[in-house]
Each structure stands twice: as C-alpha cells, then as structure tokens.
C-alpha cells in the first residue's frame, strides 16, 4: 500500500481519499520525527514543518532508520510505505492544510510556544486539535489568550513515542471536554496509550514518577550505600522485568494473598518510615489511600483471580528473560 503516491495534487488536501486522516507535525527533532512515524505507521497522511533546513533535509532518513528498527512493532507495515506518507512541507500553512491534528514538538521555551500557538490557532482548520509535546509547560502558559484555546492541550509522549506508547494528556482548565475526548480517541487510533493528567503541575506525572525514583537513587549513591551501576541493576535486573508487564500498583497487588491492602498492611510502615526520613510532613500510607487503591485494584481484578494473574505474570517474566538472553 503506497497510497501516499496516488494523491493527484500533493500540495492540496482535496484529492485525499476521505479515509486518509491528516496530521501536521511542527518541529522535527527526536520527538517530532518520532511522532511522524507514529501517525504514518497508523496510515495517516503526515506533513512535517520544521524551521531548520538541515532538520527538514534529514527527516526522511531519520524516519527510515527508526521505522526499520521499529519494524517488530508493526511487521505488516513496510518502512517504505511509512515514508511514502510523510511529506516535508515548505511552509507552516502547507503543513496545516487539511490537518485534523497538529502536534507541536519545538524547543521547551514558553515564548516560542506562545507565538507558535497563536499562529497555529489562526491558521489551522477550525476543527483541528492543537497538541503540544511539552514535558513541563502547561497549555495555560501559552494558549490562555487564544480564541481557539478550547482545542489546545498537552500530549506529552515518552521518548520516543514510536517505541513507548504512553502519552500524558494534560488539558488546561479552558480545554473543552469535546477536544479531550477527541484527543483520546485520536491517540488510541494511532496505537498510543493516552492517560489523563487532571492538573497542570510541574513535571506533570510521568516525570514526577521518574524524578521520585531518580531522587532516591541519588540519595543512596550520595550516602555511599550503593554504587551507580548496582542501583541501576536493582531496576534492570529487578523491578524492570515486572514493570514491563504490570504497573507498580498491580505489581504489589499480586505480592500478597489479599491484594494491595494486604500488602500495605504488611509493608506500608516501611514506606511511611522512608518518606518521613526524606522529609515528608505526613504519613503517605493512609487508610483513605489504601481503600482507594484496593477499590481500584479489585474493580480491575477480583481477589480470587490473583493466583491466575500471578501465573500470567510469571510466564511473561520468563519469556522476557529468554528474550534478553537471545538479544544479549
């Protein structure tokens, strides 16, 4: 399938078959080019605009390499097919033409983003969603004054999105719920896993989780308790094998017969003690949070199904170890 080539008038949206959805990628560094791959792999028509000529020039080669390396994720889609759907635009207007989604991935500078989003809001189609890849700047800081602010939100990917599917969706208080719903549907349609962040806080949630773990690692290294290599091994040859299949909450849910409430009843004191030692002003394992977690875990998995799920987990960890040995 190389439909990208059959468009009669490449510079216009008119000849695109109705089933071909179109995205504009603005900024084509590591993140932008990875987004281009995500959308093109899912069958979208992709137009990329980047300010720097060398970035534009190298785009196809960079996507080609990434697509070849990522082939196991979508074995039925040839890299050539993906490339055929990606066009480098000569102007922002050309890139925006007919796009129902605009993904901005330029530098982390609030002034640059504010100017760009003002432009995007003026020039993009009225129905287009305007999404930013920012990892740290809420849309309130660059889109509040825009007439079309209801369709602006943050869609912050992991690096790189064509390999790691989770995307933090961070609406501003002014983002419409319709736009949020449409944004979730679009992310799912291109194979990503959108999760909702209900507050525009520094680091959103993804980097807060990573930051909490890194901060503890830094403390352990600073205090001479463990070397950097060993502390990395604790995750790589430890929890990482489990977290490739299950989040940490479901992970501990499977490690006590009664689930996460049982687990925290046994070991919660330890987490409280550590948090206190690191400066936390109040206990972190409260009856309220335990009830919330147990409720969420049991809604997802009844307690009597825990043993089956443990067997599920174990088979997958064994397979991952075999894969690691194979790729060593």
Q: Considering only residues 178 through 197, tell me which ones interact with its own copies, judged by CB under 8 A.
A: 193, 195-197
Note the residue count of the chain: 328
β-pair type (166-171, 152-157): antiparallel
> Please, what is the minimum distance in Å from the beta carbon of residue 219 to its own copies?
7
> Please, what is the minimum distance in Å from the beta carbon of residue 298 to its own copies?
11
Residue 87: phi and psi, rounded to 5, are: -125, 135
> Please, what is the minimum distance in Å from the beta carbon of residue 133 to its own copies?
14
Binding-site string for its own copies from residue 275 to residue 294, where x marks contact by CB under 8 A and - marks none: x--xxxx--xxx-xx--xx-
Select the residue interacting with its own copies from 56, 174, 245, 303 (CB under 8 A).
Answer: 245
> Please, what is the minimum distance in Å from the beta carbon of residue 151 to its own copies?
22
Rounded Cα–Cα distance for residues 149 and 151 (Å): 5
Burial group, residue 315, by CB count within 10 angstroms (0-12, 13-18, 19+): exposed
Residue from 5, 163, 24, 194 nearest 85 by CA:
5
Is residue 145 involved in binding its own copies (CB under 8 A)?
no
Contacts with its own copies in 26-55 (CB under 8 A)?
A: none
Residue closer to its own copies, measured from CB, 10 or 257? 257
Residue closer to its own copies, measured from CB, 10 or 240? 240
> Please, what is the minimum distance in Å from the beta carbon of residue 241 to its own copies?
5
Is residue 239 involved in binding its own copies (CB under 8 A)?
yes
Rounded Cα–Cα distance for residues 39 and 62 (Å): 15
Contacts with its own copies in 156-175 (CB under 8 A)?
A: 158-160, 163-166, 168
Residues 206 and 158 sit within 8 Å (Cβ to Cβ): yes
Is residue 249 involved in binding its own copies (CB under 8 A)?
yes
Is residue 302 involved in binding its own copies (CB under 8 A)?
no
Is residue 230 involved in binding its own copies (CB under 8 A)?
yes
Residues 111 and 131 sit within 8 Å (Cβ to Cβ): no
Is residue 303 involved in binding its own copies (CB under 8 A)?
no
Residue closer to its own copies, measured from CB, 164 or 181? 164
Select the residue interacting with its own copies from 112, 118, 231, 301 (CB under 8 A).
Answer: 231
Instruction: Name the H helices within the chain.
Output: 30-41, 53-69, 79-84, 92-96, 110-123, 140-143, 177-189, 206-222, 228-234, 240-243, 248-253, 260-277, 287-300, 306-326
Alpha-carbon distance values, 293 to 82, 246, 265 (Å): 42, 15, 12
Q: How far is CA 132 from the centre of its chain?
A: 12
Output Rg (C-alpha) for the chain, integer angstroms. 23
Binding-site size, its own copies (CB under 8 A): 108
Is residue 140 involved in binding its own copies (CB under 8 A)?
no
**What DSSP assignment string belongs to 33-52?**
HHHHHHHHHTT-EEEEE-SS
Q: How far is CA 168 from the centre of its chain?
A: 5
Which segment (43-51, 79-87, 176-184, 239-247) binds its own copies by CB under 8 A? 239-247
> Please, what is the minimum distance in Å from the beta carbon of residue 154 to its own copies?
14
Is residue 90 involved in binding its own copies (CB under 8 A)?
no
> Please, what is the minimum distance in Å from the beta carbon of residue 21 to its own copies?
23
Select the residue interacting with its own copies from 173, 228, 258, 265 (CB under 8 A).
Answer: 228
> Please, what is the minimum distance in Å from the beta carbon of residue 237 to its own copies?
4
Rounded Cα–Cα distance for residues 46 and 200 (Å): 29
> Please, what is the minimum distance in Å from the beta carbon of residue 58 to its own copies?
14
Residue closer to its own copies, measured from CB, 18 or 279? 279
């Amino acid at each position: 399938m190389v439909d990208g080539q059959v468009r009669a008038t490449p510079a216009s949206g008119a000849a695109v078959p109705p089933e071909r959805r179109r995205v504009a990628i603005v900024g084509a560094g590591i993140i932008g080019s990875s987004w281009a791959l995500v959308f093109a792999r899912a069958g979208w028509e992709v137009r990329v605009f980047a300010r720097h000529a060398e970035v534009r020039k190298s785009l196809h080669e960079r996507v080609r390499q990434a697509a070849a390396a990522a082939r196991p994720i979508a074995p039925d889609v040839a890299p050539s097919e993906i490339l055929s759907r990606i066009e480098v635009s000569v102007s922002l207007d050309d890139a925006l033409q007919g796009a129902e989604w605009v993904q901005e991935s330029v530098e982390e500078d609030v002034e640059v983003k504010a100017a760009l989003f003002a432009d995007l809001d003026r020039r993009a189609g009225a129905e287009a969603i305007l999404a930013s890849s920012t990892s740290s700047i809420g849309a309130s800081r660059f889109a509040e004054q825009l007439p079309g602010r209801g369709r602006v939100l943050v869609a912050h990917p992991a690096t790189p999105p064509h390999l790691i599917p989770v995307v933090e969706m961070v609406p501003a208080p002014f983002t419409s719920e319709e736009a949020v719903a449409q944004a979730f549907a679009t992310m799912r349609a291109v194979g990503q896993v959108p999760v909702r962040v209900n507050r525009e806080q520094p680091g959103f949630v993804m980097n807060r989780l990573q930051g909490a773990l890194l901060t503890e690692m830094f403390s352990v290294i600073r205090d001479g308790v463990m070397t950097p290599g060993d502390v990395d091994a604790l995750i790589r040859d430890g929890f990482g094998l489990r977290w490739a299949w299950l989040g940490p909450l479901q992970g501990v849910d499977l490690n006590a017969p009664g689930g996460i409430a049982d687990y925290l009843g046994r070991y919660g004191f330890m987490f409280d003690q550590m948090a206190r030692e690191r400066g936390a002003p109040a206990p972190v394992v409260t009856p309220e949070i335990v009830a919330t977690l147990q409720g969420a875990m049991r809604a997802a998995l009844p307690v009597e199904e825990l043993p089956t799920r443990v067997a599920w987990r174990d088979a997958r960890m064994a397979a991952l170890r075999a894969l690691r040995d194979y790729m060593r």
